[in-house]
Amino acid sequence: MPHPPAPPANLPADQRHGAHEATVHAAATLRGRIRVPGDKSISHRALMLSALAVGESRVEGLLEGEDVLATAAAMRAMGATITRGEDAIWRIHGVGVGGLLQPAGAVEMGNSGTSTRLLMGLVASHPITVTFTGDASLSGRPMKRVIDPLASMGADITASPGGRLPLMVRGLCPAVPISYELPVASAQVKSAVLLAGLNTPGVTRVIEPVATRDHSERMLAGFGATIEVEATNRGRIISITGEAELRPQTIVVPGDPSSAAFFMVAASVVPGSDVVVENVGLNPTRAGLLTALRLMGADITELDPRSVGGEPVADLRVRHAPLTGIEVPHDLAPSMIDEYPALFVAAAFAGGRTIARGADELRVKESDRIAVMKAALDACGVTTTEHPDGLTIEGSGGEPIAGGARIASRLDHRIAMSMAIAGLHARSPVTIDDASPVATSFPGFFALLETLGGTVSWT
Ligand code: S3P
């Protein structure tokens, strides 16, 4: 068999085929200005809603990570025309609400829980049958939380044992509107029901006792859907009127605060650092890590606050500062749920103890992020205590941690990136056994780390 062509020498190391084990060395200091890729949650929604609008929508700043590309492929398989111009603008010709077509085969969702759960909602009220498959991580994640409400709207869903992937959704058209109180604080479940409601006659309601990220509500309103949000003593009540007609939009996707998180922590813990992360989305339903880091004493300034695509955005200047352990307020959990692995790393360098509890949802992310981060930090010489709903971490008081470990990233991008950051201030380098999952949400992460002064070697 002929050998594949050698990768071009100028390709960032994390994108070179075959190099998956990354070793991160201690950095003297981190300095510079960077821009992180587009927001993953907003990118998924931009593709899905554009695919349901009649006419051409344009999306600028779309995250071109594997998870979002899985959504694009699925929307194409269901009839949308989606192209990327050389100007990096994505153009989407939608099929109209109610117009999704039967895909020819199963749709492969890779590692992406958001694609899977939101698309299950869309399919539930269309007259099509779709089989969803995914990688080992996604196939272990619970889907019952979306199956239950979508089944009560009339979808017929056959799942693998334990309510897992592969699963098949046979949509019902017309579906039945429901009023559904979320039993878990999950924007994916909320969004699945709202998206099912788009093609359902009447009003579909979601009651959200604990507020979660509201990108779906904002974007549905932007596309012209009739959607109302009421703050009540039961929580937020979101009502969507079905059989909607969506109008094509031009969307500018802000930078992902969940990707900025790694650099916010890195610059806070590596002595002498001064980093600006430009264009970071600061929707209050996503900004919990900023609050938590500030409670710990981080020095983070918001520069040039502005609005991008209907979302608040700023450039964040982060300078090294001594951090102090805190008890992380439980009510921050929904607004920083994806940032706990990065927060645990910040806590490992703080003075004293950090107690982060009330985050049991971490157990069902791309990995069990409580158990996996405990194992990773322990292997790097950090003392931690595991709780059912979080971790207690004894910090180093700003000193480097021991490091010198090979970390199992377990198909979880955020474990890989968090532990890479831990390696920046460790006595011995930290190796990530498989850094390839980083490409699901943050292609170019390691190259950006190197532009700030980090050193990464690949094997
Ligand atoms: C997301 C919601 C969250 C988050 C995920 C993205 C979304 O999941 O962890 O990365 O885009 O709606 P849950 O709904 O499971 O909390």
How many distinct structural domains can be found in the chain?
Answer: 2
Sign of CA dihedral 423, 426, 429, 430: negative
Catalytic residue among 315, 338, 378, 412: 338
Residues whose beta carbon lies within 6 Å of some atom of ligand 1: 41, 114, 186-188, 191, 213, 337-338, 361
Instruction: Look at residue 311 and tell me if it is in a domain.
Output: yes
Residue range 400-431, pLDDT digits in tens:
999 999 999 999 999 999 999 999 999 999 99
Note whether 49 and 103 are same-domain residues: yes
Note whether 247 and 332 are same-domain residues: no
Note whether 30 and 64 are same-domain residues: no
Q: Which atom of ligand 1 is nearest to the CA of 190?
A: 14
Closest CA to 258 of 292, 281, 275, 276: 281
As to burial, measured by CB atoms within 10 angstroms (0-12 exposed, 13-18 middle, 19+ buried), residue 374 is: buried
Contacts of 383 (CB under 8 A, 6+ apart): 393, 394
Asked if residue 9 has pLDDT above 70, the reply is no
As to burial, measured by CB atoms within 10 angstroms (0-12 exposed, 13-18 middle, 19+ buried), residue 312 is: middle
Q: Domain boundary residue among 233, 251, 269?
A: 251
Contacts of 226 (CB under 8 A, 6+ apart): 240, 241, 244
Give CA–CA dist 158/337, Å, rounded.
29
Instruction: Look at residue 235 and tell me if it is in a domain.
Output: yes
Residue range 124-171, pLDDT digits in tens:
999 999 999 999 999 999 999 999 999 999 999 999 999 999 999 999
Residue range 431-440, pLDDT digits in tens:
999 999 999 9
Tokens of 174: 């017309």
Instruction: Look at residue 2 and tell me if it is in a domain.
Output: no
Give CA–CA dist 169/100, Å, rounded.
14
**Which of 138, 188, 191, 339 gets mutated to test ligand 1 (max ligand atoms within 8 A of its CB)?**
188
- Please tell me the distance between residue 278's alpha carbon and the centre of ligand 1 in angstroms: 23
Q: Domain boundary residue among 231, 251, 271?
A: 251
Contacts of 152 (CB under 8 A, 6+ apart): 176, 178, 180
Asked if residue 367 has pLDDT above 90, the reply is yes
As to burial, measured by CB atoms within 10 angstroms (0-12 exposed, 13-18 middle, 19+ buried), residue 410 is: buried
Note whether 156 and 142 are same-domain residues: yes
Please confirm, yes or no, whether 338 is among the known catalytic residues.
Answer: yes
CATH number at residue 86: 3.65.10.10
Closest CA to 246 of 197, 180, 285: 197
Q: Which pLDDT score, from 0 to 100, does residue 19 have?
A: 64
Note whether 108 and 195 are same-domain residues: yes
Written in H, E and C, the secondary structure of 40-84 is HHHHHHHHHHHHHECEEEEEECCCCCHHHHHHHHHHHHCCCEEEE
Q: Which pLDDT score, from 0 to 100, does residue 18 have?
A: 61
Q: Which pLDDT score, from 0 to 100, does residue 376 have?
A: 98
Note whether 246 and 328 are same-domain residues: no
Question: From the CB of residue 290, how many other CB atoms can be counted at a distance below 10 Å?
Answer: 26
Note whether 214 and 275 are same-domain residues: no
- In the chain, the amino acid numbered 25 is H
Note whether 92 and 111 are same-domain residues: yes
The HSE-up count of residue 381 (CA atoms within 13 Å, CB side) is 17
Q: How far, CA to CA in Å, does 408 sit from each of 367, 387, 414? A: 11, 21, 12
Note whether 76 and 212 are same-domain residues: yes
Instruction: Look at residue 179 and tell me if it is in a domain.
Output: yes
Q: Which pLDDT score, from 0 to 100, does residue 309 have?
A: 82
Q: Which atom of ligand 1 is nearest to the CA of 184?
A: 16
Residue range 18-66, pLDDT digits in tens:
669 999 999 999 999 999 999 999 999 999 999 999 999 999 999 999 9
Residue range 258-306, pLDDT digits in tens:
999 999 999 999 999 999 999 999 999 999 999 999 999 999 999 999 9
Instruction: Look at residue 76 and tell me if it is in a domain.
Output: yes
Q: Whose CA is nearest to atom 10 of ligand 1?
A: 338
Instruction: Look at residue 326 and tell me if it is in a domain.
Output: yes
Note whether 75 and 30 are same-domain residues: no
Q: Domain boundary residue among 216, 251, 286?
A: 251
% the chain with pLDDT above 90: 95
Q: Whose CA is nearest to atom 4 of ligand 1?
A: 338
- Please tell me the distance between residue 188's alpha carbon and the centre of ligand 1 in angstroms: 5
Q: How confident is the model at residue 187 (pLDDT cuts 50, 70, 90)?
A: very high
Q: Which domain holds residue 202?
A: 40-251
Note whether 17 and 46 are same-domain residues: no
Average pLDDT, the chain: 96
- Please tell me the distance between residue 295's alpha carbon and the centre of ligand 1 in angstroms: 24
Q: How confident is the model at residue 10 (pLDDT cuts 50, 70, 90)?
A: very low
Q: How confident is the model at residue 310 (pLDDT cuts 50, 70, 90)?
A: confident
Q: Which atom of ligand 1 is nearest to the CA of 186?
A: 14
Sign of CA dihedral 30, 349, 256, 328: negative
Instruction: Look at residue 1 and tell me if it is in a domain.
Output: no
Note whether 106 and 149 are same-domain residues: yes
**Which of 68, 182, 186, 360 gets mutated to test ligand 1 (max ligand atoms within 8 A of its CB)?**
186
